[in-house]
Structure 1
């Protein structure tokens, strides 16, 4: 009998999870809320479980009933994104014995999802972090802003809520700084905001699989572009790079200190000219671009399941089977996300006509030079085709608004 894998979370990495585990012989069940999930269209999906995501208590009740019908011996639950991961970590005891959950220890998950906690750990481990001030205090932050200088970065301690519509609000001029302090009172969680000194560099995603606090598999990529002009957004183009001894060592320090078993991703900003590397965050989950290592020969979704079985004591060995090396210089693009990022910027008047034209050129170049893609697979085309139609359709309504309306001071915050 095939083992069931109930996949929770509809993200771009979800389709990689579905394809990887489907090809490995698992029976895939996609869990989704009311809206149709693009991943459920994969040819590797055997069943779809619909739930009410708006009601947290009802979700847990329905999940418990679902797991009891599937049977604990043949069921694996794979929370893919941070939202479902946080939910499952918070209620781990309730579901103990009902299934094998693909995630690190719940206490580790909670710690990693709070940037304040990981920054504190980084300081103890002597891992560099950009100068940071926590918990909004107007006078203290204004003084720190003068000390840090421009640009300034404002982000949230968790990734669940954006900062004025962005993953990170980057103020590159005095107008943007003034706008932030004038409008911060409208933020839903000002005490959860972090003020950081801006540091230059490319974002490096360091994917890993670890057992008992030791890194067993490591993969490093450089994010070349994101879906936001301020580079704080989601990666839309990346390349596999030779592992950096420094970044691997930093990652190993975190993994050892946490006693980590599972997959995860540390992120750093790397400035090649200055020779510096600053820690950004530690995600206790698959990275959104895990399709790139998958295409380079390292199957992190499968490794995540193997780690979960090790944690649950379901396998006699505590060793992960995976290649120790991978293809260097392989590129991958997320064209759908790239185009949607452009349309989003246009519709919200965040860019000028000239910037939009330049962005279109980058998308065309990316499509031409990248043979590998984050969601597209010729053998399994329907998920990406549906996602493209859904996202592009929602973004085309006001596609020419930037031609007739000026860019506002608010939107210039990222310029």
Structure 2
């Protein structure tokens, strides 16, 4: 096992990985921007290196500075977390060229899955159906018009190098295509330095379901079943749950089997997630994309399957065999996760940075158990420079109804002061008939009118 590992990230994910590292006897080393240098969460590290100014491009996204920090602190491995450099194939390759272990899949796998059009072709080649749309990229507006005429409307233009909803535009009719193409391409170029787009049929009322995978480098892998991530705003996930209320036991086992077989056929290694979109009419599940990293919502899979995903990432990277057998992994009970952001939901979810005057989560509520993943405490400052995530509240209970009741009880008694939060949105969704019946989809936030 590694003795020292550099965590190439910040905030909640950095704290999460540091905790997993310590439990395995690994000393965590951190990197920070000048804006984060005095943050309380940096105390989880044995050593901290300041990368540069507050701008992410001059700090957390500067791969050369991050790798230099790893070398000067005598780390032998680098864990990228999620976001920033986590899916940067060049960074992964450079780390390995310097003799560092990159905690994640190969640079080739990251590159192949990071470009959405090649990813679709790869998954099609191993038998997974993909969302109908363009075959490859749409290089210009004429190609987009031709692909749209074949796929039909509504449709989505999506950034080939994208994620997080950036570089994405929906078109309900042909008259919207030209403007949407220009806007999506420009946004993709700005966000990812790559304006390439592809086109997919938009499945109105579809459901977003993903499968968590773990694969070692000896050709063995298991799936940790599925998560439902359909409660979204502008393609950003707000609430996740496992198991999905849209699948029965036979369906989830079949989906997991197909996903792990596809990953192993491609020679995938470490943790990954294959995301699917369910057609609301036929219930067919189409491959959308693969995330080659640890995901924000991984705790719901950890709680229902009893598996520490972050710890297994580290073990697999250190050449340990994955000693989990598929028949030994079974979902138990139900888990929910709410992402609590410092945003004003009554002002179009505008970020509200500031000082946390109070930050108390009600964890002693029943009938289930509550886990809070956060990097913050009362008195801390929520930075305007980075994402607005305050905490993830994850609950686990024997039944879905009990999990919902526990989450509601927790959020109603939680007290956060000094910044606006999205708790009111979560409570409205959790109270809605659509959510409680499990009949929601990606189209709206049930129960929330803004």
Q: Decide: shared fold, TM above 0.5.
A: yes
1:400 aligns with: none
Match of 1:382 in 2: 377
Describe the SS at the equivalent of 1:71. coil
What SS does the aligned partner of 2:77 have? strand
Whole-Å separation in 1 of the counterparts to 2:25 and 2:270: 21
1:197 aligns with 2:201: yes
TM-score calculated relative to the size of structure 1: 0.72
Assess if the C-alpha contact under 8 Å between 2:32 and 2:51 holds in 1. yes
**Which residue number in structure 1 is paired with residue 224 of structure 2?**
218
SS in 1 for 2:180: helix
Q: Which residue of 322, 327, 334 corresponds with 2:332? A: 327
Tell me, which stretches of 5 or more residues in structure 1 are unaligned? 349-366, 397-413
C-alpha distance 324-385 of structure 1, shift in aligned 2 (>3 A): farther
Report matched runs for 1:257-336 at 5 Å: 257-271=265-279, 274-296=282-304, 297-310=306-319, 315=320, 318-321=321-324, 324-336=329-341
Secondary structure of the 2:128 match is coil
Is 2:180 aligned against 1:180? yes
Q: Distance in 1 between matches of 2:184 and 2:2?
A: 52
Aligned residue for 2:16, secondary structure, equals helix
**In the alignment, is residue 94 of structure 1 matched against residue 103 of structure 2?**
no
Q: Shift of residue 90 of structure 1?
A: 3.5
1:371/1:267 Cα in 2 relative to 1: closer, same or farther (>3 Å)? same
Residues 206, 374 of structure 1: CA spacing in aligned structure 2 closer, same or farther, 3 A cutoff? farther
Contact kept? 1:12, 1:375, Cα under 8 Å: yes
Alignment partner, residue 71 of structure 1: 74
* Cα distance between partner residues in 2 of 1:182 and 1:88: 30
Residues 153 and 170 in structure 1, CA contact (< 8 A), matched pair in contact too: yes
Give the whole-Å Cα distance in 2 for the aligned partners of 1:105 and 1:78: 13
For 2:94 and 2:239, locate their aligned partners in 1 and report how far apart those are by CA, in whole Å: 33
CA 1:383–1:196: 2 relative to 1, 3 Å: farther
Tell me if structure 2 keeps the 8 A contact 1:10–1:38: no
Distance 2:82 2:8 in 1: 8
Distance 1:252 1:288 in 2: 20
8 A contact 2:7–2:81 mirrored in 1: yes
Stretch of structure 1 that moved more, 249-258 or 10-19: 10-19
Q: Does 1:115 align with 2:116?
A: yes
Cα offset, 1:329, TM superposition:
1.9
Relative to structure 1, the CA distance from residue 137 to residue 192 in structure 2 (aligned partners, 3 Å threshold; closer, same or farther) is same
Q: Secondary structure at the match of 2:307?
A: coil
Offset at residue 210 of structure 1 (A): 0.6
- Tell me the residue number matched to 2:157: 154
Matched residues, number = 359
Post-superposition offset of 1:48: 2.3
Q: Give CA-to-partner distance per residue, 1:3-46, whole Å, 9 cap, x none.
A: 22211123654443233333444322222333328986166433
CA distance in 1, matches of 2:57, 2:187: 22
Q: Which residue of 1 aligns with 2:424?
A: none
Task: Verify the 8 A CA contact 2:27 2:46 in the aligned structure 1.
Answer: yes
The match for 1:135 among 134, 138, 141 is: 138
Higher helix share: 1
What SS does the aligned partner of 2:85 have?
Answer: helix
Q: Distance in 1 between matches of 2:275 and 2:372?
A: 18
TM-score normalised to structure 2 length: 0.67
Name the structure 2 match of 1:31: 31
Alpha carbons of structure 1 residues 340 and 247: separation in structure 2 relative to 1, 3 Å: farther
After TM superposition, give the deviation of residue 264 of structure 1 in Å: 0.7
Question: Does the CA contact (< 8 Å) of 1:207 and 1:218 recur in 2?
Answer: yes
Distance 1:347 1:81, change over 3 A: closer
CA distance in 1, matches of 2:158, 2:366: 34
Pick one of 241, 247, 254 that aligns with 1:246.
254
Are 1:16 and 1:375, in contact at CA under 8 Å, matched by a contact in 2? yes
Unaligned runs of 5+ in 2: 352-364, 391-417, 422-442, 445-450
